Amino acid sequence: MHFGIALFPTIGPRVKTAQQYYDESLGLADLADELGLDHVKTVEHYFFDYGGYSPDPVTFLAAAAGRTRRVRLGTSAVIPAFTHPVKLAGKLAMLDNISHGRLDVAFGRAFLPDEFEAFGIPLDESRARFREGLAACKRLWTEEGTVFEGEFHRFGPVTLQPRPAQRPHPPVYVTSARSPESCVEAGRAGHNLQIVPGVLATEDLKDRLATYRRAWAEGGHTPGAEKVHFSYPCVIAEDGAEARRLAALDDERNGAAIGEAVQSWSRVNSADYPGYDKLADTAARATYEDKRAQNKVLSGTPEEVTRQLETIAEWFGPDIGISLGIHSGHLPAEVARRTMHLLAEKIAPKF
Amino acid sequence: MHFGIALFPTIGPRVKTAQQYYDESLGLADLADELGLDHVKTVEHYFFDYGGYSPDPVTFLAAAAGRTRRVRLGTSAVIPAFTHPVKLAGKLAMLDNISHGRLDVAFGRAFLPDEFEAFGIPLDESRARFREGLAACKRLWTEEGTVFEGEFHRFGPVTLQPRPAQRPHPPVYVTSARSPESCVEAGRAGHNLQIVPGVLATEDLKDRLATYRRAWAEGGHTPGAEKVHFSYPCVIAEDGAEARRLAALDDERNGAAIGEAVQSWSRVNSADYPGYDKLADTAARATYEDKRAQNKVLSGTPEEVTRQLETIAEWFGPDIGISLGIHSGHLPAEVARRTMHLLAEKIAPKF
């Protein structure tokens, strides 16, 4: 099991300026580098408190790349639907070189109707655009004289500059494949997986993962070579009650932010997003104590969180990556730093 | 007169890897910060040796922002035609915050037919897309609930996050307005100007600048508050003959790169780009000695370059910014570092 951090702001200027949030987050990236953690990730979202401070993950990760030396840098997702593939492949290749080959690229479909509306992209095209954008990036990274004839983009022959530093290209992840079909598709293609466990029941997650790993092997990829990352909100402190209190507060604020962002699902429907019209209800329903009991959030003393992680390893396997959501912006950065220190010093050595 | 550097790679992997070029360039950005230079800029281009190592200037500038403290960071241009305005405004606002308000944003139209073809954008739309993209960014940076009804993009009401650190927004420059009409438009709008002197005769440049400054004042903007930056390739050394030899070599290689990139103008024509079908000829025609005699390139001892700059100040005014093209990638980074040291220590104090 290896550990990193996932930065997902859920604040706006009433809580904290963007400048302060980035200062704190770059400090946490530095700390991840110093502590020998595996990765730092961040998201792509717009307009709302829910991720809106991170409309371009590559920009933040490039700032981190310029000042760190060994920690890997990952997109929690980039959204191909919102950026032309020539631009997307180009800037990711720049980041891979600037970081000396430390980039992991997760691609996502996005799911907030307001984001699609602003970009003038129909929700029902999101799966096709995700597939096409991902395929175009891989071809641009690896081919000379790419001729691309897609449904949404046609270009070529062109040869992308720069080439990625990692050959043939940076590791590719698919973010949050919720359906069995998406898991089969990702496995067959040899794509790694990033999972947000909060959105599915544990038994369903185990099923999806088994489906994915089966498809990975069927696709001719070496069993065990697939990389699977799980994201969990996390607060660790020597005083377990304090950690749980802070984690519950953070969870409440995150819930409010996602509740606001998914409001528009109440007026939108898409056959490509089954069940999303109920998202606002679902987000409001689960209590923090429920989530903690189900190991959907991690909090407590180092010993308590170690036990949670041992259960997670039993469920999903010992070789997974864990991305800790330690800084939504609602709690002081010092709380995140403490979590990272305790993780690196008292928990990671046991796994 | 204030001085900065403009990074414009004109190399491909046969000359130097992208990783090495970025390492060297980030080192030069660090040095610019240490020496107290005014700015570091870089370009947006694709596919060719001519700028192709920089498909996304924001990515490089973010890496520089994460490790410098006072130098300003500028886009030699971003091209609104190639990025959705929500994405462009968002990532520029991130960079402005990450750098604590050190961003200067120059917008450009672009001029290479192959770039437009790859993005599926007609050349004849470039002016309209430039105008619309620039206007959309300014509105997204400054308004709440922006409703944008453009020719190419419609969205809203949306409120961009994050807001730029500089209020109301980062300084806006227009890159390389060649026509008198573009100069009038930029001046009236209160936009600053970035000029590449190589593309026009000095008398024409003086005319354009006078036109721009007149339009600036007529637009109700404080005379003298406009910022105008000129870009010059530059090699300075205590041994003047060595500086000129290196500058001539660099000029020859840059000329070859631009010659390759503009080849497609021989098969393309656009009423919006008068004379561009002759670009390949023009690029090949001027000799290095001609350009140096006309002060289109700067090279020699600190004393010789000081005299060139004195002439430039007489032509265009004492308060202009000078962006030195010191690292195309063809010469060792050490040559660029020497140029910067001599500039900061022996030339800048005289202006």
Residue A21 — pLDDT band, cuts 50, 70, 90?
Answer: very high
Give the residue on B whose Cα is nearest the Cα of A101. B19
Question: Which has the higher per-residue pLDDT, A276 or A11?
Answer: A11
Nearest-5° angle of CA A337, CA A72, CA A160? 140
| A146-167 as b/e: b if 16+ CB within 10 A | bebeeebbebbebbbbbbbbbe
Question: Which of B20, B98, B152 should we substitute to test contact with A (largest number of A Cβ atoms within 10 Å)?
Answer: B98
Do B321 and B5 form a contact (C-beta atoms < 8 A)? no
Check whether B13 has a pLDDT greater than 90. yes
* pLDDT given at position B275: 80
CB contact under 8 A, A67 and B62: no
Cis peptide leading into residue B274 (ω within 30°): no
Cβ count within 10 A of residue B346: 16
CB contact under 8 A, A162 and B98: no
Nearest to A59 among B13, B62, B161 (CB): B62
* pLDDT given at position B272: 82
* pLDDT given at position B284: 61
Distance CA B248, CA B306 (A): 19
CB contact under 8 A, A84 and B119: yes
Distance CA A24, CA A4 (A): 16
Check whether A266 has a pLDDT greater than 90. no
Helix residue spans in chain B (DSSP H): 18-35, 57-65, 85-98, 113-119, 126-142, 180-189, 202-218, 240-261, 279-285, 288-293, 302-316, 333-342
Instruction: Report chain A residues whose CB lies below 8 A from the CB of B90.
Output: 46, 55-56
Nearest to B59 among A18, A26, A91 (CB): A91
Instruction: Report chain B residues whose CB lies below 8 A from the CB of A12.
Output: 161
pLDDT, tens digit (0-9, with 9 covering 90-100), for A148-166? 999 999 999 999 999 999 9
Check whether A284 has a pLDDT greater than 80. no
Check whether A309 has a pLDDT greater than 80. yes
CB contact under 8 A, A117 and B160: no
Mean pLDDT, residues B15-26 taken together: 98
Q: Where are the beta strands (DSSP E) in A247-346?
A: 298-300, 321-325
Nearest to A12 among B12, B94, B161 (CB): B161
* pLDDT given at position A282: 64
CB contact under 8 A, A83 and B84: yes
Q: End-to-end alpha-carbon separation of chain A, Å?
A: 6
CA-based nearest distance A280→chain B, Å: 20
Token readout for B159 is: 């409120």
Question: Which of B91, B96, B166 should we substitute to test contact with A (largest number of A Cβ atoms within 10 Å)?
Answer: B91
Helix (H) or strand (E) holding B168: none
CB contact under 8 A, B87 and A62: no
Do B150 and B139 form a contact (C-beta atoms < 8 A)? no
Judged on CB neighbours under 10 Å (0-12, 13-18, 19+), B219 is: middle
Residue A280 — pLDDT band, cuts 50, 70, 90?
Answer: low
pLDDT, tens digit (0-9, with 9 covering 90-100), for A163-188? 999 999 999 999 987 888 999 999 99
Do B40 and A189 form a contact (C-beta atoms < 8 A)? no
pLDDT, tens digit (0-9, with 9 covering 90-100), for B299-309? 999 999 999 99
Residue B198 — pLDDT band, cuts 50, 70, 90?
Answer: confident
CB contact under 8 A, A58 and B59: yes
Reported pTM: 0.97
What is the distance of C-alpha A52 from the center of its chain? 15
Token readout for B164 is: 């730029």
Question: Which of B87, B96, B167, B169 should we substitute to test contact with A (largest number of A Cβ atoms within 10 Å)?
Answer: B87
Instruction: Report chain B residues whose CB lies below 8 A from the CB of A167.
Output: none
Q: Which of B86, B58, B236 is nearest to B156 (CA)?
A: B86
Residue B16 — pLDDT band, cuts 50, 70, 90?
Answer: very high
Mean pLDDT, residues B99-117 taken together: 96
Nearest to B91 among A55, A84, A156 (CB): A55
Q: What is the ipTM of this complex?
A: 0.97
Q: How far is CA A117 from CA A53, A260, B154, in A?
A: 19, 16, 9
Q: What is the dihedral of CA B251, B252, B254, B256, to 10 degrees?
A: 160
Token readout for B216 is: 């600036």
The contacts of residue A36 (CB under 8 Å, 6+ apart) are A70, A344
CB contact under 8 A, B46 and A86: yes
Instruction: Report chain A residues whose CB lies below 8 A from the CB of B26.
Output: 66, 98
pLDDT, tens digit (0-9, with 9 covering 90-100), for B42-84? 999 999 999 999 999 999 999 999 999 999 999 999 999 999 9
CB contact under 8 A, B82 and A83: no
* pLDDT given at position B280: 65
Distance CA A120, CA A34 (A): 42
Token readout for A276 is: 């999303």
Q: Give chain B's radius of gyration (CA, Å).
A: 19
Token readout for B133 is: 């993209």
CB contact under 8 A, A94 and B118: no
Token readout for B143 is: 């308004």
CB contact under 8 A, A94 and B18: yes
CB contact under 8 A, B118 and A160: no
Token readout for B54 is: 């920089």
Q: What is the DSSP letter of B148?
A: E
Distance CA A173, CA A195 (A): 10
Question: Which of A42, A82, A94 should we substitute to test contact with B (largest number of B Cβ atoms within 10 Å)?
Answer: A94
Instruction: Report chain A residues whose CB lies below 8 A from the CB of B144.
Output: none
Instruction: Report chain A residues whose CB lies below 8 A from the CB of B151.
Output: none
Instruction: Report chain B residues whose CB lies below 8 A from the CB of A165.
Output: 17-19
Check whether B225 has a pLDDT greater than 80. yes
Q: Which of B222, B332, B230, B213 is nearest to B2 (CA)?
A: B230
Q: Give chain A's radius of gyration (CA, Å).
A: 19
Question: Which has the higher per-residue pLDDT, B287 or B146?
Answer: B146
Judged on CB neighbours under 10 Å (0-12, 13-18, 19+), B20 is: middle
Tally C-beta pairs within 8 A across A and B. 184
Q: Where are the beta strands (DSSP E) in chain A?
A: 2-7, 39-42, 72-75, 103-107, 146-149, 154-158, 172-175, 192-195, 228-236, 298-300, 321-325
Mean pLDDT, residues A73-102 taken together: 98
CB contact under 8 A, A60 and B98: yes
Give the residue on B whose Cα is nearest the Cα of A65. B63
* Lookup result for tokens 């046969």: B14
CB contact under 8 A, A120 and B153: yes
Token readout for A185 is: 């598709």
Instruction: Report chain B residues whose CB lies below 8 A from the CB of A59.
Output: 58-59, 62, 91, 94-95, 98
Nearest to B53 among A118, A120, A162 (CB): A162
Do B231 and B325 form a contact (C-beta atoms < 8 A)? yes
* pLDDT given at position A288: 92
Residue B283 — pLDDT band, cuts 50, 70, 90?
Answer: low
CB contact under 8 A, A47 and B161: yes
Check whether B282 has a pLDDT greater than 90. no
Q: How far is CA B259 from CA A115, A228, A284, B253, in A?
A: 41, 47, 61, 10
* pLDDT given at position B227: 97
